[in-house]
Chain A
Amino acid sequence: DGGITQSPKYLFRKEGQNVTLSCEQNLNHDAMYWYRQDPGQGLRLIYYSQIVNDFQKGDIAEGYSVSREKKESFPLTVTSAQKNPTAFYLCASSPPWGVGQPQHFGDGTRLSIL
């Protein structure tokens, strides 16, 4: 079955540590996105990528980094510069044919501070 796989489901970060969240899709989608969700908030865009080897900052990119070396993969690194990383992180993708197509989401990763 086609879909988006995020791993791990739960992740803990120590002070000063970088951690990487994985996002893989087998939907053959060109565009991929990372969102952050805080309690009582909607989703906020961290980074997005329309094609391989290209990505753009979203609204809250500070303290995060991404790469897009393969169409299927869009990992997100939460760096030590992100002082408040505790949140639920969602990865999404969308097909290239028309911006009206809905985004498909993974099941998310919950990141907590130790």
Chain B
Amino acid sequence: AQTVTQSQPEMSVQEAETVTLSCTYDTSESDYYLFWYKQPPSRQMILVIRQEAYKQQNATENRFSVNFQKAAKSFSLKISDSQLGDAAMYFCAYRVGGGSQGNLIFGKGTKLSVKP
């Protein structure tokens, strides 16, 4: 069974600094997708970034980028120039590809605090 592990329950970063959130996963599949979702205090789930496993190039979205290491099954999220609005729970998620099932498997989350 696939699993997703986020080893950092809480992280803290100074405003304007850079922080990296860790995520590892376990799968025997070769075709899959990885996601980072942000959940602010409003409890909305907001997609931050997505990575296709067959793409070697790391995904980037403005201040957010990932370090995807397929062999190591690692998918970390880097947030540059941190802003107060980045404070939230961050969830790493995995989804197997190639079939009709598209269920997301989530890690337990990392709570990010941003200090002014």
Contact = CB atoms under 8 A, between A and B. Distances in A.
Interface in B86-106: 91, 95-104, 106
B4 A107 contact: no
Nearest to A9: B43
Given A92-B45, A102-B35, A108-B43, A41 B108 contact: yes
Contact of A33 (B103, B107, B108, B109): B103
Instruction: Name the prevailing secondary structure of the B interface residues.
Output: loop
A103 B109 CA distance: 17
B91 A100 contact: no
A90 B103 contact: no
A42 B102 contact: no
Contact of A99 (B45, B102, B107): B102
Interface stretch (A14-22, A43-51, A65-73, A78-86): A43-51
Interface in B48-72: 50, 52
Interface of B: 4, 6, 9, 33, 35, 42-45, 47, 50, 52, 91, 95-104, 106-109
26 contacts: A40-B9, A40-B108, A41-B108, A41-B109, A42-B6, A42-B91, A42-B108, A43-B106, A50-B101, A58-B103, A92-B104, A99-B95, A99-B97, A99-B98, A99-B99, A99-B102, A100-B50, A100-B95, A100-B97, A101-B102, A102-B35, A102-B47, A102-B50, A103-B104, A105-B45, A107-B43
